[in-house]
Structure 1
Amino acid sequence: MKKIEIDDIIKQQFEYYQNMCSLLSDFKDSHFDPPGDIEKIEQWEKDNGTNLPHQYKSWLLLSAGSNILDGFIELSWPEIGTLDERNDIIIIASIIGDGETVYISRTDRKVYSIFEGEIKEYNDFDDFLTIKSLYIETLAKEYLGDDWGDIYDKQFGSE
């Protein structure tokens, strides 16, 4: 069985997302699918003639699909999509609250999102996760109060 090293930053992000979802579980439902299989990922890449960025592959190796906070973020198995009438994107997530689609460009392998025709570029998959975690922290403040960070640290230990 082939093994790939999971990106440490993505592993930390994954754990943070799981912890935040656990912290907010009385208010919002979340679900993380079991880890994906590297052979299945590589077969998908071969079948679609493209390579996925290492950080996104790392997330798939931690969870093949994730429904976070009542679908605020749905990270999914990759799917070929189109912009400009070409099969030029790989759809990886949706932000349900506002209809935003998150994708990887097949041309430059960068992470982008599109909402109402406006495209936003992220530095990488980690940057996308970091920016979306700000919304999760806003929810934590709304549901748990200003001391949500202390509650988090008490429950999960500070990093």
Structure 2
Amino acid sequence: MYKFVMVAAVATVLAGQAMAAECTPITEKQVEGLFDRWNTSLATLDPDKVVENYAPDAVLLPTLSNKPRLTQEERRAYFVDFLKKKPQGKIDTRTIKIGCDKVIDTGTYTFTLADGTKVPARFTFSYKFEHGKWLITSHHSSAIPETHS
């Protein structure tokens, strides 16, 4: 019996290590492409295309709303209004952290709106590889506060 327990324990540890070693590979350039995919979906002006980038349980803390968006319907409602401004984002600075099937892309970006207004903001996108693709699991965007001397 002890041999069986020992063999089962070793097999469990090895299986756990094998599972941990099977992370979906991604490069920094590919992470940059995830933002590009999201930004391109904004250009379609179709809120459904934008929402496709988000995991079903994602959290969106948007720039132009105080309300956290916790469902696809809430995220869609936000983008219906936001897309009326025809936003296009441009990354100004970023730091990328890559983990096992998880990525964080954080930094600053500037949105240019249809009327020419520029909105500088801070961002954090976290992604997880699920259902065969990288999806946004959280997205926080906030306007850059006034600078103080």
TM-score (norm 1): 0.26
Q: Which structure exhibits the higher relative contact order, with contacts defined as CA atoms closer than 8 Å and separated by 6 or more residues?
A: 2
Rg (Cα) greater in structure? 2
Q: Which has the higher strand share?
A: 2
Q: Which has the higher helix share?
A: 1
TM-score (norm 2): 0.27
